[in-house]
Structure 1
């Protein structure tokens, strides 16, 4: 099926309380809306849901709906209409409408940056603009799918983000706990309950996963990679490599060669 690139539309609105859109028969495409500030609402199937900062709504083709700004408020949101070919990668839900609240600040920023790229690329219409917009949309839909399946406490999501970002640095659980507003013992308990692993095991697994990639693709020695990924002791690195990858770094390198 040939795709009409004109079907992909996007915008950034900041609307007064008089703003309302009514679509009794829906549209032929998907609609994705992400609230940045203020308050709006979406009414679907006689159910009215408020849209506040961090809320994201996905409406399927043909879903009758109307939406607008709540009384005595303004509503700032970004939106995108896109065709149903995204169903080819199984990221779109079976339901006609999906409401999600994104509580994690870094995830909100990531979604906003993806929307910003969609807006810029769709306006500039440079070479491959449509493919670039599709990539950004896929990123948002993947985040939504991950959120739907995992439904993780946003504080744990933030700790996972910090671990991946600060992987090469010494990590103190006390500092992580202070960052997300929990006691060290409560954070440790909640983290393992949510992920199935301790914070230290998760950090070491991240480091070993990165080490495997570096040994496969950079030609660096095991001792160099050990320090590159954040380990301060080569014996500890070797033990963790065996734990998470089933062999020592030297055996892994021999197998690669």
Structure 2
């Protein structure tokens, strides 16, 4: 079996996961499958350009493009002439996956635009490569977990369709929720002015940045109240509020009760 046959997934289906690889190919690289494949192919282009051809469509995939090819789709793919194609790929079947995470098109492409998404999906691919090569106990389950992470992130982007800069800001808010937030620094991280970011954020989410942050903090506080024995004051600090009175006010705003009443209500319901 040659390298192109491996990349095409010939006869390699294994408990829901097939095989993965990391290629950097010149423009002589191509693979033709007139009858399609039995499994899915996913690629993540890291550099250069590749192409996919299916009936009625030709797609050129560039850096940061994720491409999915549906089973049974006649196709050809390879490196664009005059260049190279640097990409990671995996073949898989869908018997262990929820159909909602998979696109309904024969050929689907999404360009990743925010840095957190690029890093997270790249890390997931690297875990697939490592686990599939080492093949220690549960290696295939670990590969499927990483693959599911990639597909769920893509499905969320298809459904939410947020501006990539707002996605990045939401990621930073959740990551640094416990820290003081400066809108000027957030705006700079996505190359916008503070006023432009505030306007775009409100247009995309229906909330101000501060309201979105406070809602995240209160959601986390509610979970901690329900599932830990930490005091409300400790939890207030844990989630990023510098003033306990402000925490109480925000808790009332978003959940319409005090933290102590919320804890009593949830624990009584669990009895």
Normalising by the residue count of structure 2, what TM-score does the alignment of the two structures yield? 0.90
Q: Tell me the alpha carbon deviations over residues 230-252 of structure 1, each in whole angstroms, 9 at most, x when there is no partner.
A: 00111110111111122110111
User: Offset at 1:128?
Assistant: 1.0
- The equivalent position to 1:244 in structure 2, one of 254, 257, 262, is 254
2:214 matched to which residue of 1?
Answer: 204
Is residue 110 from structure 1 mapped to residue 120 from structure 2 by the alignment?
yes
Q: 8 Å contact 1:40–1:70 — kept in the other structure? A: yes
1:231 matched to which residue of 2?
Answer: 241
Q: Tell me the alpha carbon deviations over residues 41-72 of structure 1, each in whole angstroms, 9 at most, x when there is no partner.
A: 11111421111111011111101111111112
Partners of 1:68 and 1:89 in 2: CA distance: 27
Q: 8 Å contact 1:86–1:92 — kept in the other structure? A: no
User: Offset at 1:90?
Assistant: 2.6
Q: Against the structure 1 CA distance between its residues 200 and 7, is the aligned structure 2 distance closer, same or farther, given a 3 Å change threshold?
A: closer
User: Offset at 1:86?
Assistant: 4.0
2:10 matched to which residue of 1?
Answer: none
Dislocated runs of 4+, deviation >6 Å: none
User: Offset at 1:138?
Assistant: 0.7
Q: Which runs of 5+ in 1 are unaligned?
A: none
1:30 matched to which residue of 2?
Answer: 40
- Counting only pairs closer than 5 Å after superposition, residues 151-230 of structure 1 correspond to structure 2 as 151-230=161-240
- The equivalent position to 2:57 in structure 1, one of 25, 47, 52, is 47
User: Offset at 1:106?
Assistant: 1.4
1:130 matched to which residue of 2?
Answer: 140
User: Offset at 1:135?
Assistant: 0.7
- The equivalent position to 2:100 in structure 1, one of 90, 95, 113, is 90
Residue 239 of structure 1 aligns to a residue in which SS?
helix
1:56 matched to which residue of 2?
Answer: 66
Partners of 1:217 and 1:120 in 2: CA distance: 35
Q: Which runs of 5+ in 2 are unaligned?
A: 1-12
Normalising by the residue count of structure 1, what TM-score does the alignment of the two structures yield? 0.95
Residue 101 of structure 2 aligns to a residue in which SS?
coil
Aligned length in residues: 255
- Mean CA deviation greater in 222-231 or 212-221: 212-221
Q: 8 Å contact 1:192–1:199 — kept in the other structure? A: yes
Is residue 100 from structure 1 mapped to residue 110 from structure 2 by the alignment?
yes
